[in-house]
Amino acid sequence: MYNKLIFKQMKTKLSTLLLFAIIVTSCGGGGTQPKASENAKKTAKEITAMEKKLPFERGSYVEVTSTMGIELKKIIYFDNWGEWTATEEKTEMTMMGYTHISHNLEIAKGKKHWKIDMVEKTGTYYELKYEAAGGMAAALSAAMGTKTADGTEIKDLGEEEHLSYICKKTLVKYIQMDMEITTLTYGNLTMKMDGKMGSMDVSSQVISIDLSAPPASIFEVPEGIEIEEQNF
């Protein structure tokens, strides 16, 4: 139980860091267009949709995160420019003789959200009262305007290619969290992040993108799952 708690705490810390990185870097705007040689592979809609929640209409991408030597992989399916997402994460980890197996699915369809434990066959459902066009990061950035959190330094490092996309490269320093990270963003999608939070090395990167239509069933709650509704 103790090792399981540590595992969850590490995942929470990294998730918080990733959300903060997305918020502050999106203040500087989205990524640039793909290189001219790649334009034939990208539709006009994809290239001009940088203000959307995601810069692609539909598809999936695989993201790998690493912290304290622990690597986690998840696949994110999306449709309607990111208005619908289904994030699937499977892990099997052994620490101090304890093996932790998890299989989680999180579905978001506009204001409707489901968090599902595929191992326990249980889940929760909640509905947001408000949903901002452009995603949470874009909404917070708009609310902040040109301001950033106290003690935050953001430096534009130009552009860098990742998976054939020309991304905006940004250095972010946040004194209160003893954090310094470098991010690559394409539209509202964080393609890559590397840095430190205190003495802890953290990293995240999208390792593949598939722009074929995901199966419609991935956005539905699987059969046999007991869902509990939550009110906020």
Reply yes or no on whether the pLDDT at 52 is more than 60: yes
Those residues with Cβ within 8 angstroms of residue 2's Cβ, 6 or more apart along the chain or in another chain:
none
Those residues with Cβ within 8 angstroms of residue 89's Cβ, 6 or more apart along the chain or in another chain:
72, 73, 74, 75, 102, 103, 104, 105
Reply yes or no on whether the pLDDT at 54 is more than 70: yes
pLDDT tens-digit map of 176-186: 778 898 999 99
CA distances from 190 to 63, 102, 222 (A): 10, 25, 29
pTM comes to: 0.75
CATH architecture entry for 2-229: Clam (2.50)
Helix (H) or strand (E) holding 59: strand 59-67
38 touches 63 (CB < 8 A) = no
pLDDT tens-digit map of 100-146: 788 999 999 999 999 999 999 999 999 987 654 443 344 334 433 44
| DSSP three-state, residue 2 | helix
CA distances from 90 to 72, 98, 117, 134, 215 (A): 8, 17, 10, 28, 18
Residues above pLDDT 70, as percent of the chain = 67
